[in-house]
Amino acid sequence: MQTIYQFHGLQFNGEKKSLKEYSGKVVLIVNTASRCVFTRQFKSLEKLYQKYKDQGFEILAFPSNDFHGQEPMTGHQLETFCRVHQQVSFPIFKRIHVKGEFCDPLFRYLSDKSANGMVGVKPLWNFHKYLINRDGEVVDHFYSITSPQSSKLMTKIEQLITK
């Protein structure tokens, strides 16, 4: 079975970052957008990140403009929005497609149960979350309406961190 480790994300400087760099960590992968009703989740995601990052937890954000054009920004403008306006310190990658014909291979994997063995749900909107264990395997997903501070999500993260 595949893991997230054979994929990469494009950083804002254009360099590829292998997801192998997150090997051994519990990872939450989120598709984001700056003009979405759920954009307020950036602050909750940052709190979640600060709470667990020293215990081997990482959040990876992948902006997408796939849902009604709610992520019109790219490049430096998008990075500035996330880093300065939302005060996010976890990794944010270049804008990608998370569904459809041009779907990024990572999100194709995350949403295909035959590939990941666990989850067969594509993002229905911005801020869909995929939870990955320390072995790089998809173990769960959470819809956009699930707050990053929800007890359900935090309990799952804590269980994976202590394994």
Sheet strands (E) in the chain: 8-10, 16-18, 26-32, 57-63, 129-132, 138-142
CB of 61 within 8 A of CB of 82?
yes
Distance separating alpha carbons of residues 144 and 25, to the nearest angstrom: 23
Sheet strands (E) in 11-71: 16-18, 26-32, 57-63
| Active-site residue identified among 36, 103, 138, 157 | 36
Structure token pair of residue 14: 């254009």
Which residues touch 68 (CB under 8 Å, ≥6 apart)? none
Instruction: For residue 103, indicate whether it is catalytic.
Output: no
List the catalytic residues: 36
